[in-house]
């Protein structure tokens, strides 16, 4: 472990005394990096060492660090109107809701929250109440996928298909069912990718039928399973899922918390597949993580069912104190302007293709079983045996992440998901990354994996 400066040592002592970290086991011998400042794709710690943030924080700093335009947008709004609840209204929320409907390419009405978990919680309430309001009184169940992630609050965690995230917190909310994901890398022998994806989609319809279609409110899924291992479906899969939902009167909720705002090389991940969701949940890249803000975008036809239906409970009785904060909305609008002005959505597509192409030769290494990409997002699945596809041991995965960090590159993995399958390295750098940044990622990951395979 590198020697630490006095300021860092003091910070770590206080950190270990007072701060409880996200999803990280306590380890006194491996203290956290203490970030001091950041610019572009690079973060500097208290000792002055620079790291390229190959994960955009937690998949969220889409326009990069240090954007004065975003700080200024929030500052000016804080001076003018720092807070007002959306039981009434304010102009930044109105403008942002209109802009989001435009970005989504449909006629959507927007409910604001603070995080992806909260956006999904609102979606579940809206879906259940909508079904009630149109006379479908028994529709309360949700179908999600194993390995998918939808948040940490009880309802969102119930939708999450990652057993290790739920361990010791169950029982959770009822009415959530799970089906297998379209993990084409681990498809049965003799089955084509197309056949397998249609088979996985059919599992959703089978579950709807077996449960009773009249009891199922919605299907929720990310366009691509992200934190669960970058599992990218075939085009046929999303097409068929949409058909199934429409056939059975089931709403389709698309979770764009990670895939949205250019990460996929399109404005939203589902735009790559041409589907039209009933509800879209968004967060993270909405503000590039500069301030907390999320949204649940609902097709207007669904929203209209909440109007004047003749009883005291027809309106949505969901409230969020800080959701749609004026400063966060103003900042989000400026963030979307930057994405448009700097053509960062298109750049994500270009950089993602370059990164995937440059890393493809790693498939020749015995440690690398599969490499999957979706826009500027890469998953490298590590295996102990390429023939059996046995996942690599977690110690190997952690060793590679540690070696990358030692060389100045922060990468991620699908951590605390499914026992034995936390073996996928993840990359999702800022969309604003320079060509030199991308080359540094390529050179570092290639050198580390080549060295690990040789060892």
pLDDT tens, 145-165? 999 999 999 999 999 999 999
The pLDDT of residue 1: 46
Q: What is the pLDDT of residues 121-151, one digit of tens each?
A: 999 999 999 999 999 999 999 999 999 999 9
Q: Which two tokens stand for residue 233?
A: 């479906």
pTM across the whole model: 0.97
Query: Does the pLDDT at position 348 exceed 90?
Result: yes
CATH architecture of 33-63+343-454: Alpha-Beta Complex (3.90)
Q: Which two tokens stand for residue 392?
A: 């690599």
- φ, ψ for residue 80 (rounded to 5)? -85, -50
Cα 339 to Cα 286: distance, rounded to the nearest angstrom = 10
Q: CATH top-level class for 68-341?
A: alpha beta
Burial of 19 (0-12, 13-18, 19+ CB in 10 A): exposed
The segment(s) of the chain belonging to CATH 3.90.1150.10 are 33-63+343-454
The segment(s) of the chain belonging to CATH 3.40.640.10 are 68-341
Neighbouring C-beta atoms of residue 79, cutoff 10 Å: 9
Cα 54 to Cα 430: distance, rounded to the nearest angstrom = 7
Among 290, 377, 402, 406, CA closest to 51: 406
Among 329, 309, 296, 274, CA closest to 78: 329
Return the percentage of the chain with pLDDT > 90, whole number. 94
**CB of 383 within 8 A of CB of 422?**
no
Half-sphere exposure for 286 (CA within 13 Å, toward CB): 32
More confident: 30 or 344: 344
What is the mean predicted confidence (pLDDT) over 437-447? 98
The pLDDT of residue 26: 81
The pLDDT of residue 46: 95
Return the percentage of the chain with pLDDT > 70, whole number. 98
More confident: 311 or 85: 85
What is the mean predicted confidence (pLDDT) over 418-447? 97
Alpha helices in 182-310 (DSSP H): 193-211, 235-248, 300-304
Cα 57 to Cα 398: distance, rounded to the nearest angstrom = 18
Q: Which two tokens stand for residue 10?
A: 């003091």
pLDDT band at 2 (very low <50, low <70, confident <90, very high): low
Site of tokens 């669904």: 302
The pLDDT of residue 455: 56
| DSSP labels, 427-454 | E---TT--HHHHHHHHHHHHHHHHHHHH
Q: What is the mean pLDDT of the chain?
A: 96
């Amino acid at each position: 472990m590198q020697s630490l400066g006095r300021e860092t040592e003091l910070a770590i002592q206080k950190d270990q005394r007072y701060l409880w970290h996200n999803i990280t086991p306590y380890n006194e011998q491996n203290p956290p990096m203490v970030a001091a400042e950041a610019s572009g794709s690079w973060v500097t710690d208290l000792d002055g060492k620079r790291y390229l943030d190959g994960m955009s924080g937690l998949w969220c700093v889409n326009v990069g660090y240090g954007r004065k335009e975003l700080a200024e947008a929030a500052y000016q709004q804080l001076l003018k109107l720092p807070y007002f609840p959306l039981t009434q209204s304010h102009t930044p929320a109105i403008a942002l809701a209109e802009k989001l409907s435009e970005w989504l390419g449909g006629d959507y009405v927007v409910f604001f929250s603070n995080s992806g978990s909260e956006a999904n919680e609102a979606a579940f309430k809206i879906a259940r109440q909508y079904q009630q309001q149109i006379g479908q009184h028994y529709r309360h169940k949700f179908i999600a996928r194993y390995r998918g992630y939808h948040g940490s609050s009880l309802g969102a965690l119930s939708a999450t298909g990652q057993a290790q995230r739920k361990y010791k917190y169950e029982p959770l909310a009822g009415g959530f069912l799970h089906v297998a994901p379209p993990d084409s890398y681990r498809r049965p022998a003799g089955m084509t990718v197309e056949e397998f994806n249609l088979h996985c989609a059919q599992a959703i319809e089978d579950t709807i039928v077996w449960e009773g279609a009249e009891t199922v409110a919605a299907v929720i899924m990310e366009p691509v399973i992200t934190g669960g291992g970058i599992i990218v479906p075939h085009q046929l899969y999303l097409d068929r899922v949409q058909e199934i939902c429409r056939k059975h009167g089931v709403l389709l909720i698309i979770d764009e918390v990670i895939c949205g705002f250019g990460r996929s090389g399109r404005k939203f991940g589902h735009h790559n597949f041409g589907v039209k969701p009933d509800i879209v949940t968004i967060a993270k890249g909405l503000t590039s993580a500069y301030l907390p803000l999320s949204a649940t975008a609902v097709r207007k036809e669904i929203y209209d069912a909440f109007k004047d239906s003749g009883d005291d409970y027809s309106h949505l009785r969901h409230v969020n104190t800080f959701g749609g904060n004026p400063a966060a909305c103003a900042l989000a609008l400026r963030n979307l302007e930057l994405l448009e002005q700097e053509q960062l959505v298109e750049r994500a597509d270009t950089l993602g293709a370059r990164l995937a192409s440059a890393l493809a030769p790693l498939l020749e290494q015995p440690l690398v079983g599969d490499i999957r990409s979706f826009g500027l997002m890469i998953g490298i699945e590590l295996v102990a045996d390429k023939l059996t596809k046995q996942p690599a041991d977690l110690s190997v995965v952690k060793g590679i992440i540690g070696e990358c960090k030692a060389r100045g590159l922060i990468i991620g993995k699908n951590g605390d998901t499914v026992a034995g399958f936390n073996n996928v390295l993840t990359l999702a750098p800022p969309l604003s990354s320079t060509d030199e940044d991308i080359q540094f990622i390529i050179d570092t990951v290639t050198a580390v994996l080549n060295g690990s395979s040789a060892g």
